[in-house]
Amino acid sequence: MLINDNLTTSTIYQQIAQKKAELSSLDKKDLQKSAFEKSDTVNISDTKYDENDYARVLNKFKNLDSDIRAHEQTHASLANTRGAINYNYQVGPDGKLYATGGHVRLDTSLPQDEDAAMAKLEKIKKAASGPDGLSAADASITRAANLNKMLILSRQGESHENRSNVEQS
């Protein structure tokens, strides 16, 4: 029986068998490769490292993690926030994630009432400067809160002067 281009069915079956054999060969190579990868492990006992250095580095990661978390939680506990605390992580020598930085967004919106605004600015200032080891961002927020308080006080002084001038007339 002839098919297009003078190919016989037996030739087609031969080509199919050849392709199946090639695929089977590729499958065997992949299987061998994956078996090798499964048995390819790192034996830490053979690796030369100093146990004291490992413990020292691990303790640094643990201490930094607890300091960062305490710092950011202090900020969050002293004022209203605009979301959750965000942490930056790094993988320690033991393969676990440790916080190496972080930030929390404080709610800095001010109410229209000047007395309420003053109270909120004081709260923001305490939250920003509350923890030990102020960052540049913490100091910047504290300065901004102080400047806003001074602006409100100057407005209050101007309105008080205007009232006095009206009363004297």
CA distance 89 to 152: 40
Task: Compute φ and ψ for 158, nearest 5 degrees.
Answer: -65, -45
Report strand pairing: 2-3 vs 97-103.
unpaired
Give helix 51-78 / helix 114-129 axis angle, nearest 10°.
Answer: 170
The residue extents of the domains of the chain are 2-39, 51-106, 108-169
Q: Which of 3-7, 43-47, 144-148 has the highest mean pLDDT?
A: 144-148
Sign of torsion over alpha carbons 72, 77, 80, 83? positive
Question: How big is the CA angle at 43 (ends 40 and 49), to the nearest 5 degrees?
Answer: 140
Q: What is the pLDDT of residues 88-119, one digit of tens each?
A: 999 999 999 999 999 999 888 888 888 898 99
What amino acid is encoded at 118 in this protein? M
**Nearest Cα to 102, choosing from 74, 129, 142?**
74
- The model's confidence at residue 39, banded by pLDDT at 50, 70 and 90, is low
DSSP bridge partners of 88: 101
pLDDT digits (tens, 9 = 90+) for 113-150: 888 989 998 998 898 888 777 788 888 888 988 898 89
How many CA atoms within 13 Å lie on the side-chain side of 66? 5
At 138, list the tokens: 């913490």
Task: Confirm if 85 and 73 have CB atoms less than 8 A apart.
Answer: yes
Contact 148, 110 (CB under 8 A): yes
pTM over 0.85: no
In 10 A of CB 168, how many CB atoms?
Answer: 6
